[in-house]
Amino acid sequence: MLRRTHHRFFRKKLLHRITTQRRNFSEDVKESPKVVFSGIQPTGIPHLGNYLGAIKQWVDLQKEENEIYFSIVDLHALTIPHEEKICEKVLSMVATLLACGIDPKRSIVFKQSEIKEHVMLSWLLSCIVQQNTLKNMIQWKEKSKSTRNAANLGLFTYPVLQCADILLYKATHVPVGNDQTQHLELCQDIARKFNNRFGTFFPEPVTLIDENCTKILSLRDPFSKMSKSQGHELSRINLDDSDDQIWNKIKKAVTDNTSAVTYDPIRRPGVANLIQIHSSMTDLTVNEICSRSEEEGLDTGQYKMAVAEAVIDHIRPIRAEYEKLVGDREHLETVLSEGTTKAKETAQKNWNELRSMVGLT
């Protein structure tokens, strides 16, 4: 049974807080409207890390006059085995994105595997990047280690396909969580190398990271990130979790033996993670949360109730909207096919120019 708290002061409206990292960006591109690109794997209902690290930023970026592409990257999902058909998961991802506030009139939502130019460009880029660069990618090293060097080739070349996704649309800005930083640096590097060799074509895309939710941590192990593929069910909050599930997961979140609510990501990562989640779901700053908790005399156990309440209040309308949308298969398929048609137009135009630049036509 869900226990409700009286800590209403924790509730405020959302605040838009985005950090822009700009790197070697030509003046022309800075002044023109942004071309935003991002992707998400259809590997189940997104968790709070996906939402706070990426999707929430995507929704905010729709408020500006941007050209926006969000790809459901089913080819990337092939790098791991799936019990359910990936295409079914693609449709439920469309429902989730719409429920979170992605508006198909403002953003182009599409399925990666419908546009073969992603793979064509990925091959072209793989002829530019050195294998040593890929061997040094952190995610590859982790995957190779955890599979005892038996990781598949798709996982090795995965970052190149990701670069192709972005560059195919000549994206200027890529909103992601900070686990993608290295992939984005590779993308900037490949764009630069291509431009130097074949003539300027690609912008070097800027990575957009929300400074307040760079990395949401596992609720069971605050030394690793919240993730779909790893960890216990209790380690992550999914966007379709019930109120009771959310409450239970936050109540059981691993913290430490200190009872005061203080923000210290190095020594107290579990508590800092809860504060970060709480801050992202309200417009309270970390300092406000800590000083108000002190004023109220809350210990971490009591504070968890305030966090759970903020998360429940934020997720409840998303879950309700998701449940409404997910049954309307026809609508979801229409959104996806209209998005795919629009994305294909840009992809084919850019690929045709690229083919000519590299001497294929």
Residues 6+ apart with CB under 8 A from 323: 240
3 state DSSP class of 207 = strand
Q: Look up tokens 């993308």; give the residue.
A: 187
Q: Please report the DSSP string for 23-50 in residue order.
A: -S--HHHHHSPPEEEEEE--SSS-BHHH
Distance (Å, whole) CA 100 – CA 315: 9
Shortest Å, Cβ 9 to ligand TYM? 27
Comparing CA positions, the residue from 165, 209, 171, 167 lying closest to residue 190 is 167
174 binds ligand TYM (CB under 6 A): yes
Residue placing its CB nearer to ligand TYM in the complex, 175 or 298:
175
The three state secondary structure string of 295-340 is: HHCCCHHHHHHHHHHHHHHHHHHHHHHHHHHHCCHHHHHHHHHHHH
Structure token pair of residue 277: 């989640």
Shortest Å, Cβ 106 to ligand TYM? 18
277 binds ligand TYM (CB under 6 A): no
Chosen residue from 92, 122, 172, 180 binding ligand TYM by CB under 6 A: 180
Shortest Å, Cβ 245 to ligand TYM? 18
Per CB under 6 A, which region of 39-47, 265-273, 305-313, 319-327 contacts ligand TYM? 39-47
Chosen residue from 60, 179, 189, 296 binding ligand TYM by CB under 6 A: 179
Distance (Å, whole) CA 312 – CA 310: 6
User: How many residues in the shown chain lie near ligand TYM by CB under 6 A?
Assistant: 24
Binding pattern for the stretch 181-220 against ligand TYM, x by CB under 6 A and - elsewhere = --------------------------------x-xx----
76 binds ligand TYM (CB under 6 A): yes
86 in Cβ contact with 70 (< 8 Å): no
288 binds ligand TYM (CB under 6 A): no
- Catalytic one among 34, 170, 225, 304? 225
Distance (Å, whole) CA 286 – CA 109: 34
49 binds ligand TYM (CB under 6 A): yes
Comparing CA positions, the residue from 50, 44, 48, 54 lying closest to residue 274 is 48
Shortest Å, Cβ 298 to ligand TYM? 25
39 binds ligand TYM (CB under 6 A): yes
Establish whether 143 is a catalytic residue.
yes
Chosen residue from 50, 96, 172, 273 binding ligand TYM by CB under 6 A: 50
Helix residue spans in the chain (DSSP H):
27-31, 48-50, 56-61, 74-77, 86-100, 117-126, 131-135, 138-146, 153-168, 181-198, 243-251, 269-281, 286-296, 300-326, 329-357
73 binds ligand TYM (CB under 6 A): yes
Establish whether 116 is a catalytic residue.
no
Chosen residue from 36, 68, 176, 272 binding ligand TYM by CB under 6 A: 176
Report strand pairing: 35-40 vs 19-20: unpaired
Distance (Å, whole) CA 24 – CA 203: 9
Residues 218-237 that bind ligand TYM (CB under 6 A): 225-226
Residue placing its CB nearer to ligand TYM in the complex, 195 or 214:
214
40 binds ligand TYM (CB under 6 A): yes
- Catalytic one among 143, 170, 215, 304? 143
Per CB under 6 A, which region of 48-56, 80-88, 276-284, 302-310 contacts ligand TYM? 48-56
In degrees rounded to 5, what are phi and psi of residue 348?
A: -70, -40
53 binds ligand TYM (CB under 6 A): yes
54 binds ligand TYM (CB under 6 A): yes
Report strand pairing: 107-111 vs 67-72: parallel
Per CB under 6 A, which region of 23-31, 50-58, 125-133, 337-345 contacts ligand TYM? 50-58
Residues 6+ apart with CB under 8 A from 140: 134, 151, 155, 156, 158, 159
Q: Which residues bind ligand TYM (CB under 6 A)?
A: 37-41, 49-50, 53-54, 73, 76, 162, 165-166, 174, 176-177, 179-180, 213, 215-216, 225-226
Give the active site residues: 143, 225, 228
